[in-house]
Amino acid sequence: TVWWNQSSALVLCMDVGFSMSNSAPGEEPPFELAKKVIQKFVQRQVFAETKDEMALVLFGTDSTKNPLEQDGQYQNITVHRNLMIPDFELLEEIANQIHPESQQADWLDALVVCMDLLKKQTEGKKYDRLVIVLLTDLCTQASPDELDIIIDNLKTAGITLQFFLPFPAGDDEEGGGDGDRGGSGHPGAGKGLSREQEQGLDMVKHVMLSLDEEDGLDEIYSFRNALEQLCMFKRIERRPTAWPCQLTIGSSLSIRIVGYKAVMDERLKKTWITVDAQTNKRDDVKRETVYCLDDDNETEVQKEDIIQGFRYGSDIVPFSKVDQDQMKYKHDGKCFAVLGFTKQSNIHRHQFIGNQVIKVFAPKDDEHAGVALSALIRALDELNMVAIVRYAYDRRCNPQVGAAFPCIKQHYECLMYIQLPFMEDLSHFTFPSLENKKFVPTEAQLSAVDSLIDSMMLVEKDESGEQKDMLKVHHIPNPAFQRHFQCLHHRAVNPGTPLPPMEPWLKAALERPEVISERCQAPLEEVKRKFPLTAVEKKKQLKTSAQIFGKDTGEPDAKKAKGDEEEEDYNLADIAEGSVTSVRSTAAVIVFIFFCLVVVTPVSFPVCQQLTHRIEQLLSNKNTHYYMKSITCIQAFREQSVKLGKADLYNSYLQSLKRSIPNRGLEVFWDLLVQGMISLFAQGFRIFPPPFSSLEMTCNFYAISAKEEVAAPTTEDTGDVDDLVCDLYFYLTALFWS
């Protein structure tokens, strides 16, 4: 029931006669439905960019325009468009030029016009299929005189017919498609047909059964049924290409094979091109790439002066394309060679690599190869083993290693090739065990999960004991493609209007089936009750300086509660406190260095160096936690320097640190440092005695009066770090004046 997967020529033949506009009140007239079917049909073809060609014939038209019209025959039939690849023009014509008209025409006559068109316009070209699609309400009396001749001609020409009628053709309407989704409720099914329609239907059935005794009636669809199945654009067409090769085992056993891609991660074929916004022309936009040296002047380098190189660790090795081609790994080309066989259990599904599955058959005209391959497939299947093979598509492509699995279906047998990883592709990570006391679920919790699983089972046995899968995701079209085409189509047909919302059916297709959603409500509530889940807002925020400095034992959550803002908004008081405690704190190693060495002996160069090293070490971790530690160190450094009256080392270190901030991307750290210093002023710590700088003293003075209003200063431009002292000065002056 796949309508046309291969290149075909197709005539859409639509009844636009006056009866098509008749409808019961509240129902869409058959004309509108038929038009929608045609629109969806053409849309699919346009976006699939198939090479299929399409013609459009209308009957019941007021005028007559067809090659067969003569002597009053074949009247009111119009060939609207000859056989060609469908495009947006056709879509627009269907939207704007096809209206209900006031005549009636014999649908069999129209069929003959279509056959004639197909015959003439396909002459000398090759098509896989010739199809005529007839959409009519069968209200016009058709003359059955030449029915048998028509059937004979259809048969000889190899033309397939499809009928779309406003009503279902038979008692059961499951016929068309796989009937996976939808397909229930057919308005109009019970409505009595007119005598003409009944006669017409009999003729249609007769024709269809004459063409195909078994499945002929399956090709009669109702408009509605067709619309439901057509709501998905045709899959992007990819015709499988054969890859002939030989499967080899050792040097003397080979089997002729043909490979086809069976599953493949499809991407959209087309990429976006860039156009000028004013003219919408691609040619108005030019992209130019220039090369320059990485020096201050950005000296431009001509393209001819550029050679290629590769990295070998820290070395860059010049390696020309020619040399590269000459020295690169070469192999004998196309191959499918068995390296050996292994148990299927040695192959782990999660280690499959690549993005495709290749099915390997014997060539269809070589039954000996068929038997040989069948022997291999069955042997592997019976032994539960796979072949490990070297696979190379051709000489230009690098070889891969992969597994060929046996696959035995009711109608065919094949090998399925899937690529396996190379050693270089794997990363072996160790994760903490989940058998941890803290995480092991209780029996009650496990049973809550059990009920959840029970309620959410997508595969169930129906009354007849057969398994029914409620959601076959491999039947759902890729929503990315659907949405993409929906938007493109909208923009093409309605330029200048905003893009439409996602189609409801597409949204629904991605959701839990409704039955499941309803059924799982109670078990979900139970899971919610049994498993407390608390989102840790931003884990870094919780680490206030109090925690960092190991002071969080006494007052556990008071500080944490405050830390709800951005992580940069460190609580200033905390930092200040931190600096005080740091002097006596146990945590930071800085204390060790300082108290053991500094306090005893005067600040000497090596000790300072140790300290600054330590700070640098901490700063190499870009993490607020380590920033806070560094700030503690710096503050201690300052404090101790002051105590010992040796400010120069501290000042020069701070200067050099400041210079390196932009290069090292430590702006956040610097902000924190500045804030920390400010809060020291604010709280009136007396740790800035005279020798530092007069500005700081000024600050100190102001700070005391600004005590209550300490808030985080927002540095607007972190890229340009201002002098610490100036920053403080401005901030505090501002406070003073406010």
Partner 1 sequence: MAEWNAYYRNEDDEEEQEEGEQSGEYKVTGRDSLVFLVDASKEMFIKEEDGKPSNFDMTMQVVRSVYTSKITSSYRDLVALVFYGTEQSKNPRNSFKHVYVYHDLDEPGAKRVQEVDELRGSKGAQLAAKTMGSGETSLGDALWCCANLYSDIKLRLSHKRLMIFTCRDDPHEGDSVKDRQGRTKASDLRDTGVIINLMHLMKPGGFDVSLYFRDIITPPEDESDLGLQLEPCAKLEDLQNRVRAKEKKKRVLNRLNLCLGEGINVAVGVYSTAVPARKPPPIKLYRETNEPVRSKTRVFHTQTGSLLLPSELKKAQVYGKKQIVMETDEVDSIKKFEDPGMFLIGFKPMEKLKLHHHVRPAVFLYPEEDDVKGSSCLFSALLKRCSERNMFALCRFTARRNYSPRFVALVPQEEESDEGKGQITPAGFNVIYLPFADDIRTLDAPQLPCASQEQVDKMKQIVTKLRFKYRSDAFENPAIQQHFRNLEALALDMVAPEDIEDLIMPKVDQIDTRLGPLVQEFKDLVYPANYNPETKPAAKRKTADNGGGAEKKPKVELPEDELRAHVQNSTLGKLTVPVLKDACKKFGVRTTGTKKQELIDALIAQLSS
Tokens of 3: 């309508």
Q: Is 55 in the site for partner 1 (CB under 8 A)?
A: no
C-alpha closest to that of 227 among 176, 268, 263, 269 = 176
Contact partners, residue 497, CB within 8 Å, separation at least 6: 490
User: What residues numbered 563-622 form the site for partner 1, per CB under 8 A?
Assistant: 588-589, 592, 613-614, 616-618, 620-622
User: What residues numbered 260-289 form the site for partner 1, per CB under 8 A?
Assistant: 260-266, 269-278, 280, 282-289
Residue 196 or 266 having the CB closest to partner 1: 266
Strand 315-318 with 385-392, pairing: unpaired
Residue 516 or 712 having the CB closest to partner 1: 516
Q: Is 321 in the site for partner 1 (CB under 8 A)?
A: yes
Residue 190 C-beta: closest distance to partner 1, Å: 33
Give CA–CA dist 255/366, Å, rounded. Answer: 10
User: What residues numbered 68-127 form the site for partner 1, per CB under 8 A?
Assistant: 84-89, 91, 124-126
Contact partners, residue 559, CB within 8 Å, separation at least 6: 544, 546, 547, 552, 571, 574
Q: Which stretch binds partner 1 (CB under 8 A): 208-216, 417-425, 576-584, 716-724?
A: 417-425
Tokens of 147: 């029915």
Q: Is 726 in the site for partner 1 (CB under 8 A)?
A: no
Site string for partner 1, 695-724 (x = CB under 8 A): ------------------------------
Binder of partner 1 out of 190, 192, 318, 501 (CB under 8 A)? 318
Residue 178 C-beta: closest distance to partner 1, Å: 11
Q: Is 421 in the site for partner 1 (CB under 8 A)?
A: yes
Query: 74 near 66, Cβ under 8 Å?
Result: yes
Q: Per residue in 407-435, is it b (16+ CB within 10 Å) or e — as a string?
A: beeeeebbbbbbbbeeeeeeeeeeeeeee
Residue 726 C-beta: closest distance to partner 1, Å: 26
Q: Cα-flanking dihedrals φ and ψ of residue 78, to 5°?
A: -125, 125
Site string for partner 1, 140-179 (x = CB under 8 A): ----------------------------------------
Residue 161 or 380 having the CB closest to partner 1: 380
Give CA–CA dist 265/241, Å, rounded. Answer: 16
- Number of residues written out for the chain: 738
C-alpha closest to that of 457 among 470, 446, 445 = 470
Query: 102 near 66, Cβ under 8 Å?
Result: no
Residue 646 C-beta: closest distance to partner 1, Å: 22
Secondary structure (H, E, C), 678-719:
HHHHHCCCCCCCCCCCHHHHHHHHHHHHCHHHCCCCCCCCCC
Query: 42 near 81, Cβ under 8 Å?
Result: no
Binder of partner 1 out of 476, 583, 647, 654 (CB under 8 A)? 476
Binder of partner 1 out of 470, 599, 711, 734 (CB under 8 A)? 470
Binder of partner 1 out of 531, 556, 648, 736 (CB under 8 A)? 531
Binder of partner 1 out of 324, 586, 604, 656 (CB under 8 A)? 324
C-alpha closest to that of 117 among 140, 136, 133, 137 = 133
Residue 69 C-beta: closest distance to partner 1, Å: 25
Give CA–CA dist 525/81, Å, rounded. Answer: 60
User: What residues numbered 13-52 form the site for partner 1, per CB under 8 A?
Assistant: 46-47, 49, 51
Binder of partner 1 out of 2, 322, 561, 600 (CB under 8 A)? 2
What secondary structure does DSSP assign to 502-523, as a single string? PPHHHHHHTSPPHHHHHHTHHH
Q: Is 411 in the site for partner 1 (CB under 8 A)?
A: yes
Q: Is 652 in the site for partner 1 (CB under 8 A)?
A: no
Query: 42 near 90, Cβ under 8 Å?
Result: yes
Q: Which stretch binds partner 1 (CB under 8 A): 17-25, 59-67, 474-482, 543-551?
A: 474-482
Residue 400 C-beta: closest distance to partner 1, Å: 8
Binder of partner 1 out of 149, 189, 426, 726 (CB under 8 A)? 426
Dihedral Cα 266, 272, 273, 274, nearest 10 deg: -150
Residue 626 C-beta: closest distance to partner 1, Å: 7
Binder of partner 1 out of 70, 71, 213, 307 (CB under 8 A)? 307
Residue 155 or 239 having the CB closest to partner 1: 239
Residue 354 C-beta: closest distance to partner 1, Å: 7
C-alpha closest to that of 215 among 152, 150, 169, 156 = 169
Q: Which stretch binds partner 1 (CB under 8 A): 105-113, 530-538, 544-552, 597-605?
A: 530-538
Partners of 254 in the β-ladder: 248
Residue 249 C-beta: closest distance to partner 1, Å: 7
Site string for partner 1, 655-694 (x = CB under 8 A): -----x---xx-----------------------------
Query: 391 near 336, Cβ under 8 Å?
Result: yes
Residue 362 C-beta: closest distance to partner 1, Å: 6
Size of the site for partner 1 (CB under 8 A): 238
Residue 12 C-beta: closest distance to partner 1, Å: 16
Tokens of 40: 């969806």
Binder of partner 1 out of 388, 597, 687, 712 (CB under 8 A)? 388
Residue 208: C-alpha distances to residues 110, 457, 589 (Å): 16, 42, 91
User: What residues numbered 496-515 form the site for partner 1, per CB under 8 A?
Assistant: 499, 502, 510-513
Binder of partner 1 out of 483, 560, 646, 658 (CB under 8 A)? 483
Binder of partner 1 out of 95, 157, 379, 711 (CB under 8 A)? 379
What secondary structure does DSSP assign to 161-178, as a single string? EEEEESS-SSS----SS-
User: What residues numbered 227-256 form the site for partner 1, per CB under 8 A?
Assistant: 235-236, 238-241, 243, 246, 248-256
What secondary structure does DSSP assign to 614-630, as a single string? HHHHHHTS-SHHHHHHH
Residue 515 or 734 having the CB closest to partner 1: 515
Containing 468, the helix (H) or strand (E) segment is strand 467-469
Binder of partner 1 out of 65, 119, 155, 368 (CB under 8 A)? 368
Residue 105: C-alpha distances to residues 34, 81, 435, 677 (Å): 17, 18, 78, 93
Give CA–CA dist 424/185, Å, rounded. Answer: 57
Longest dimension (CA), the chain: 124
Contact partners, residue 25, CB within 8 Å, separation at least 6: none
Q: Is 195 in the site for partner 1 (CB under 8 A)?
A: no
Query: 89 near 45, Cβ under 8 Å?
Result: no
Residue 558 C-beta: closest distance to partner 1, Å: 20
Residue 143 or 621 having the CB closest to partner 1: 621
Residue 336 C-beta: closest distance to partner 1, Å: 10
Give CA–CA dist 731/714, Å, rounded. Answer: 10
Give CA–CA dist 108/154, Å, rounded. Answer: 12
Q: Is 561 in the site for partner 1 (CB under 8 A)?
A: no
Residue 69 or 266 having the CB closest to partner 1: 266
Q: Is 327 in the site for partner 1 (CB under 8 A)?
A: yes
User: What residues numbered 328-367 form the site for partner 1, per CB under 8 A?
Assistant: 328-329, 331, 337-343, 346-357, 359, 361-367
C-alpha closest to that of 130 among 107, 147, 108, 153 = 153
Residue 575 C-beta: closest distance to partner 1, Å: 19
Q: Is 522 in the site for partner 1 (CB under 8 A)?
A: no
Residue 195 or 348 having the CB closest to partner 1: 348
